[in-house]
Structure 1
Amino acid sequence: MAAAAAAGAFSLREVLEAFQRCVTEQREVLLEPYLSGWRGLIRFLQSLGTVFSFISKDAVAKVSLLEGHCGGRQGQQYVSLQSMVRHELAAGPAALRARSDSGCRTVLRLHRALRWLQLFLEGLRSGDSRTSVVCTDAYNASLAAYHPWVVRKAATVAFCALPSRDAFLEIMNVGPREEAVAMLGEAIPYIGDVYSITQELFAQHKLLDLP
């Protein structure tokens, strides 16, 4: 795993291990492995060239912002999503909504993108459709609602140039196609678990529509 990270190459195993470490026995989502998983997913997006740059560049900025919170003077408040939400809501909902650099707002943007990636990877695993169709369907079911028309149009056009499923499975860097499919089957439930916990937490505190 370290070798893959050092080389800057995507490794599905790295993402799997990060999201495995995310959820505690108390069902809290730890931010350190969450961000580690996202760094792996960003390498996946970047390995595909400019097609996903409109998502990967935004994810890089959001991960960097969260890393700043985690490593800052109040880093102990950013150990988990739950502690972050408690800390940032302590100032009041209005103050939180006014902050463009809040951890909650930043996680919400990553959360929406994670749903798209979850659906896309699930589609790759099942292999029922062409990658362009899988990616477009996943995008329309998740991120599209939060993007202006011009971005949605550009995205769907770009998706038409996606490589084949076999090419995607090779990018996973875990060996033969069968191994990649099997590891996707392992990884997707962990990603889905993190997504579900985050969705429930943000819904509970009415944070799903942060500006």
Structure 2
Amino acid sequence: MADSFSLHNVLDKFKLCLSDNKEVYIQYYIAGWRELVSFMNSLGSVFYFISSDVVKKIQILDNYLTDENGPQYLTIQSMVKYELDNKLVDLTKGGSHPESGCRTLLRLHRALLWLQLFLESLRTSTEESKTSALCSEAYNASLAQYHPWIIRKAAGVALCTLPGRDAFFDVMNAGSHQDVITLLGEALPQISEVYQITQDLYAKNNLLDLP
């Protein structure tokens, strides 16, 4: 996974995510996530508590894409139908499919909301804004409820070490800070649409609380 990051690549991958009828291609979804992991890695180890788990989840989904049932995992919609039809999803704890595609993608889905909220707050922030506060607010509004206390505590400490706003804009490799703000304005609606389509699909199939 490349360490270099460009916000342009994130936009490109999430644009490719959606089919003409608004199905979400898993191949491009995880490609977009690989770019977002590069973004987190560009800032050092501060996001390791999230990125390390994301990398594992990406690998699980990649394995599904390349195995004999790969065509069933072309889109999130086809994956959900296939796994539910074949009882491959653990709807309660202690089942035999702890790494189902549906559960794995749900973990990425939750983390995507955190990044979406954080990047949006960065986009609308001012020079006086503290990135640690922005990121903590995004974390508390999304991922925190799914993490045990010890992870939340560690996250709180880690986020206090975040660099300033300028450093975030610099690692995005998208030109001037105004260029970054403009590009975020293009990328975030793409990410948001992918998130909302996934959210609605999971809600419709009662999959939002998979253990």
The TM-score normalised by the length of structure 1 is 0.94
Match of 1:56 among 46, 51, 55: 51
Q: Deviations over 1:55-91 (max 9, x none)?
A: 0000000000000000110000010000000100012
Q: In structure 2, what is the equivalent of residue 23 of structure 1? A: 18
Give the 3 Å change call, closer, same or farther, for CA 28–40 of structure 1 in structure 2: same
Q: In structure 1, what is the equivalent of residue 142 of structure 2? A: 142
The runs of at least 4 aligned residues of structure 1 exceeding 4 Å deviation read 93-97
| 5+ long unaligned stretches in structure 1 | none
Structural mapping, 1:37-186, within 5 Å: 37-92=32-87, 98=95, 99-128=97-126, 129-186=129-186
Preserved CA contact (<8 Å) 1:89 1:96 = no
Q: 1:49 aligns to what SS in structure 2?
A: coil
> Residues of 2 paired with 1:118 and 1:66: CA distance?
21
Q: 1:29 aligns to what SS in structure 2?
A: coil
Give the 3 Å change call, closer, same or farther, for CA 100–175 of structure 1 in structure 2: same
> Which has the larger helix fraction?
1
> Residues of 1 paired with 2:8 and 2:102: CA distance?
28
Preserved CA contact (<8 Å) 1:88 1:96 = no
Q: CA deviation at 1:96?
A: 6.0
Q: 1:51 aligns to what SS in structure 2?
A: coil
> Residues of 1 paired with 2:62 and 2:88: CA distance?
23
Q: Which moved more, 1:89-98 or 1:114-123?
A: 89-98
Q: CA deviation at 1:50?
A: 1.3
| 5+ long unaligned stretches in structure 2 | none
- The percent of aligned pairs where both chains have the same amino acid is 52
The residue type paired with residue 49 of structure 2 is F
> Residues of 1 paired with 2:84 and 2:163: CA distance?
43
Preserved CA contact (<8 Å) 2:130 2:164 = yes
When the two chains are superposed, the root-mean-square deviation of aligned CA atoms in Å is 1.4
**Number of residue-to-residue matches in the alignment:** 206
Give the 3 Å change call, closer, same or farther, for CA 84–190 of structure 1 in structure 2: same
